[in-house]
Each structure stands twice: as structure tokens, then as C-alpha cells.
Amino acid sequence: MPSQLVLHTGATVFWWIGPIIVLIVIPVLDWVIGDDGNNPRDEDYELLSNDRYYRWCTYLFLPIQLIGLGIACYMWVGDSLSILDKLGLAATLGFVSGIGINAAHELGHRVEHLERWLAKVALAQSGYGHFFVEHNRGHHARVATPQDPASARMGESLWEFLPRTVAGGFRSALALERERLTRKGRGWWSVHNHILQAWAMSLALFGLMVALFGVRALPWLLLQAVIGVALLETVNYVEHYGLLRARRPNGLYARCSPRDSWNSDRLVTNIFLFHLQRHSDHHANPGRRYQTLRSSMEAPQLPAGYATMIVFAAIPPLWRYVMDHRVFAHYNGDITLANIHPRKRRRILSSYGVSA
């Protein structure tokens, strides 16, 4: 075993720096600095889209992510940190992993072959490679409908949503990829299977970490992956809570509109999440690179940035207090137009004076 790294910071809080930045520092800065307020002009779109500076912002996150994971494994297997310190380090790496999934989200929407492969690399740390398939071909097709496991329903708490979206997204990804391979005349165990490609990268990464640092690193690797996935799915919970696409006369859902995603234009969270908060424009134009996304005032607006809203989401009574009346107002007082949790539909409708 390598010699133990002795790093004395004098403060256990140092190892919890990831959650502290995301859950405390960024919300405070969002509140102090306020909205971005800048929308790209149409005439600048091509120049901005082709500016390679923004691509390198996503590319460079990958080596930072993987180097950080290696350093963390080295420290997890050592004896210089207490269990509390190691838990903090796992939480910090989990938040990095969650932001890595967001980087994979940006890269996975690209048509360039290299960037789509880099998306799978970014997903390796979280072991959530099937997200590459489910998000692009599942979520974008079914967003803001009861059939989408990644769209939260009004009255559904975050803690009810998490197991539903994780299990539902997994099942959906398998079905979508199996259908794609069948259309192309290929079996499941094909080298062209996007899910197996991504999972193989996770196995290779985790296997390398265990080979280098021993099996003692494995529980911490799994813990940080779970935290990263939970962070991603909490953001999903925020993005479409209670929103439901209208139906056409033929019974099919209307095309996704700006009214089907919660938006926020807080500057600091925009920077950290690659403009993910301009979510309506992303769904309308998934091929747009993050630096070209525009804020839409037609979209329902959150009272704070995503970083703040994930804190609210973790406390269901607070979340309902902040969000349910906004869903009601968004549909101009007709709560029957919302995407409501089936088991709670009767109670929610009656609370707004509507008979079930």
C-alpha cells in the first residue's frame, strides 16, 4: 500500500466543501448577484456556437473529475482521515459526479462522434451510463407527461420521486436501446450498444481504482456515485414539477413548449450548470450548445436558482409551500391542467375546490 498522505487542514468542514459550495455558497451568490439578463442575439448565434472556448469548458471538466476521483480513492484507503472526513470527501466527490452528469448531458446532445463518447466518459464516475440513452430518446420525447419518469408530479415529494425516476429511467433506457438495436438488426450483446459501452467505462474506471488502491476504496466509490445520481435526479425533480403538456384533439400530447419547464436565470448557477436553468430553450432546441441558450419569460419562473431549489426540494413541506401555488397560478387557477400525483389527485383537487 502506498505511504499514507497526511493532510492537516485543522477543520473537518474542508472535506464537505462540495455540498457547502453547491448548497450554501452558490444560493447566497445567486441572491446577491441576481439574474444573468443576457440573451444571445440571433446574429451572434453561429459565432457563439462555434467558439471552442465553451467546448473546452466541458472537455476540461473530465480530467478534473477523474484526477479528483483518483486522489479521493488514495485518501479513502488511508488512515489520515476520520470516518466523518471520508464521508465529507465522498459527498464532495458525489457533487462533482453530479455536475459531471450535467457535463455529459451537454456533450450527449451533440452530433459530433467525439463529444458523444466523452459524454459516456463523464458518466463513468456515477455508473449512470444509461442516462445517455434515456435522456436523449426518452425524456425529451415524453417530458411533462405522466409517462415520463423524470417529470415530477404535483404532490409527489422528492423522496417519492427518486426511486420512481431511477427505476423508471433504467427500464426505459433498456427498452429504448433494445428497440434501436433490433431496428438495426443487432442483438443486445453488440459492441454498438450505447448502454453497454457506457457501463463498460464505469467498470473499467472502478476496476482501475480498486486495482490501484484496493477493495477498501469500493464502498466509497459506490457512495459518491449514489450521491451524484441523487443530485442529478433532484435537479430533474425541480425542472418539470407539476407541469403537463396540453393534449391535441386527437389525444396526442402537443409539442413541448416553453410553458413545460421551470426556468431560472440566476447568473452564478447558470455558470456552474452550463445554462441548464434556461431549460425551456433546451427542450425546444436540444441541439443548441449551452452558451447559446436563451432565457424565456414565457416559461414559468422559479423563485430562485436551481441550487437553492434543490435545498427546498429536500424539505417536502417547504417545497409544497413554495411551489404548489405557483403551479396553480401557472395554469390560471385550473389545477386540473397540472400533472398531479395519481394517488393524491382527489385530495389535491378538493383542496382547490374541484371535485375529483
Rounded-to-integer distance, Cα 14 and Cα 22, Å: 14
Q: CA-CA distances (angstroms) from residue 192 to 86, 105, 109, 119, 180?
A: 38, 20, 18, 16, 10
pLDDT at residue 22 in the model: 94
Q: pTM here?
A: 0.93
Inside any domain, residue 4: no
Helix and strand totals (H; E) in the chain: 17, 0
Q: Using alpha carbons only, what angle is made at residue 57 by residues 23 and 241, rounded to the nearest 5 degrees?
A: 40
Inside any domain, residue 22: yes
The owner of cell 413545460 is 260
Nearest to 180 by CA among 217, 136, 150: 136
pLDDT at residue 272 in the model: 87
Handedness of CA 319, 285, 273, 61 (dihedral sign): positive
The amino acid present at 270, given as its one-letter code, is: N
Number of domains in the chain: 1
Q: Once rounded to an integer, what is the mean pLDDT over residues 303-310? A: 96
Inside any domain, residue 66: yes
Inside any domain, residue 6: no
Inside any domain, residue 3: no
For 184-237, the pLDDT digits (tens) are: 999 999 999 999 999 999 999 999 999 999 999 999 999 999 999 999 999 999
Inside any domain, residue 266: yes
3-state secondary structure of 268: helix
pLDDT at residue 11 in the model: 63
Nearest to 220 by CA among 15, 73, 98, 80: 73
Rounded-to-integer distance, Cα 243 and Cα 143, Å: 9
pLDDT at residue 42 in the model: 87
For 159-168, the pLDDT digits (tens) are: 999 999 999 9
Phi then psi for 247, rounded to 5 degrees?
-105, 145
For 55-96, the pLDDT digits (tens) are: 999 999 999 999 999 999 999 999 999 999 999 999 999 999
Instruction: Calculate the average pLDDT of the chain.
Output: 93
pLDDT at residue 3 in the model: 37
pLDDT at residue 356 in the model: 63
The owner of cell 459501452 is 197
Rounded-to-integer distance, Cα 345 and Cα 332, Å: 18
Phi then psi for 14, rounded to 5 degrees?
-55, -40
pLDDT at residue 5 in the model: 40
For 235-249, the pLDDT digits (tens) are: 999 999 999 999 999
Rounded-to-integer distance, Cα 197 and Cα 191, Å: 7
pLDDT at residue 10 in the model: 53
Contact of 310 with 274, CB cutoff 8 Å: no
For 4-51, the pLDDT digits (tens) are: 444 444 567 889 999 999 999 999 999 999 999 888 888 889 999 999
Q: What is the DSSP letter of 331?
A: T
pLDDT at residue 136 in the model: 94
Domain with 154, as residue range(s), is 12-351
For 138-188, the pLDDT digits (tens) are: 999 999 999 999 999 999 999 999 999 999 999 999 999 999 999 999 999
- 104-125 in b/e form (b: 16+ CB < 10 A) is bbbbbbbeeeebbebbbbbbbb
pLDDT at residue 4 in the model: 40
Q: How many CB atoms lie within 10 A of CB 188?
A: 12
H-helix segments, 273-351: 279-284, 306-313, 316-330, 345-351
Inside any domain, residue 5: no
Q: Which three cell numbers stand for residue 228?
A: 451524484
